[in-house]
Copies of this chain bind each other. A is one copy, B any other.
Amino acid sequence: MPPFGLLHMRAWVSLFNQLLRPSGLVCIREVHFHSQVSEAVLTSQLKPHQEKSNFIIKTPKGTRDLSPQQMVVREKILDMVVGCFKRHGAKRLDTPAFELKEMLTEKYGEDSGLIYDLKDQGGELLSLRYDLTVPFARYLAMNKVKKMKRYQVGKVWRRESPTIVQGRYREFCQCDFDIAGQFDPMIPDAECLKIMCEILSGLQLGDFLIKVNDRRILDGLLAVCGVPESKFHAICSSIDKLDKISWNDVRHEMVAKKGLAPEVADRIGDYVQCHGGVSLVEEMFQDSRLSQNKQALEGLGDLKLLFEYLTLFGIAEKICFDLSLARGLDYYTGVIYEAVLLQTPAQAEESFNVGSVAAGGRYDGLVGMFDPKGRKVPCVGLSIGVERIFAIVEQRLKTSGQKIRTTETQVFVATPQKNFLHERLKLISELWDAGIKAELLYKNNPKLLTQLHYCEHMGIPLVVIIGEQELKEGVIKLRSVASREEVAIKRENLVAEIQKTLSES
């Protein structure tokens, strides 16, 4: 196992531990996991004088609320992803949720129909962003930036038929890292693959593989096999299905539905069923047909160099040259890649079809599409499929049956007596001002048992208790929720004692 695996194994264990409540706590009340798809039919009217009735209260199709439990998982995972991007020297960028509609046209090929448009309410025609790549290219062109290593984390929107069981939504989060600029070949490309490996290893999602191909090899392959250029697109999208359906089915689609000559399909089949390491690259260099194609040779040359760098990065064994990898988006021009998990996580109850968990490639022409003089800024980048990763980790936590703490409260301020609200408020104010995370119940006279149950339920480790006796003696009781031990401490030492106790635990 390469060293980053070891490093991040610790990180993952620590992530997992952070997500779990302290052990030894008895859970008094059950934690409410709010259903994200529950719908309540409003049978009564909104207001008496209104005519509305029977409307359904829900989130829009393909979207969902994210509960505090989900948010905790997400934040930890995003922290790890962003941490990796920062380790590689990236700056953070943000762009608006919507763009001028014309900025998004001609960028996504067949997927353009999935773009959400805004209603024309007077003014500009707008669309919600479909990914973070096109806005990045627009930003570079608009600000005439020639060189930039940036990351962006944000939501994107696609009007897809949601298959929620696979973790596909119409609103989802993307985490992108891209390197823009004219550099010596394959160095940034190799770094992108290194980043994907670091993140996937770090998150310990199970074994994975990164498929690599090059758009130029794919185009060259189709050309030398005798596919007419007008059919490149259609045939590519058939090839792209090879990870889901068999070659026979793909071949049938090419011949019967897309009108390809059977012998052309068979020639393609000889190539696209190949996958392997750098030796396959060498083999293709020797291939009598492919070596006649200039584009394909360029792609093969770059892949050879890429594997050289991947070996230096210690990740060559994670990368697989796969001639069937096509990637849907129109804007790719060179190396393309896609990471897939090789098996469902061992701990998962149900099997998860998560598909690719990270992907990307080189797009050297996109920025030029925005530039008045067509000046190009070569780019290469990757996108982490965090939604699918969230789904895996959530499933894993669910299977483990462990509870997640959704708050970080360190101290609860309680009293066993009536009419002690004023003392509690003064006390908690002192804690807040000292930076201590503290809560109390919003009741004038709560029962002590209710207060202690709340702490156990919420996983709050410490309770300070103030009553008449303590007030008289100028002390406070500090109680450990887990051990139920109590110590009396001087009122004036309260903050210092709590900070000491917290730093020790």
Contact = CB atoms under 8 A, between A and B. Distances in A.
Interface of A: 2-4, 7, 32, 34-35, 38-44, 46-47, 50, 52, 55, 57-61, 63-68, 70-72, 75, 86-100, 102-103, 106, 116-121, 123-124, 126, 128, 135, 138-139, 141-145, 150, 155, 157, 159, 171, 179, 181, 183-184, 187-188, 190-191, 194, 198, 309, 312-314, 369-374, 406-409, 421-422, 425-426, 429-430, 432-439, 442-444
B64 A34 contact: no
Given A2-B433, A100-B60, A435-B87, A92 B119 contact: no
B43 A68 contact: no
Contact of A372 (B42, B50, B435): B42
A71 B426 CA distance: 37
A92 B299 CA distance: 47
Nearest to A439: B89
A38 B86 contact: no
Contacts of A124: 60-61
A491 to B, nearest CB: 15
**Copies of this chain:** 2
A71 B86 CA distance: 13
11 contacts: A2-B433, A34-B139, A39-B142, A44-B373, A57-B103, A59-B100, A63-B98, A65-B135, A66-B93, A87-B436, A184-B443
A427 to B, nearest CB: 9
Contact of A32 (B145, B194, B444): B145
Contact of A370 (B57, B145, B425): B57
Contact of A312 (B100, B121, B422, B433): B422
Contact of A142 (B38, B43, B183, B191): B38
A98 B425 CA distance: 39
A444 B430 CA distance: 59
A190 B444 CA distance: 14
B92 A313 contact: no
Contact of A429 (B38, B314, B438): B314
A422 B194 CA distance: 15
A406 B430 CA distance: 36
B119 A118 contact: yes
A438 B89 contact: yes
Contacts of A150: 68
Contacts of A183: 442-443
Contacts of A409: 89
A47 B96 contact: no
Contact of A44 (B41, B145, B374): B374
A116 to B, nearest CB: 6
Nearest to A157: B97
A407 B89 contact: yes
B72 A312 contact: no
A52 B443 CA distance: 66
B126 A372 contact: no
A96 B60 contact: yes
A394 to B, nearest CB: 14
A100 B59 CA distance: 7
Nearest to A189: B442
B425 A141 contact: no
Contacts of A118: 116-119, 128
A88 B198 contact: no
A68 B124 CA distance: 27
A58 B44 CA distance: 46
Contact of A38 (B95, B135, B143): B143
A100 B432 CA distance: 39
Contacts of A407: 86, 89-91
A179 B439 contact: no
A139 B123 CA distance: 32
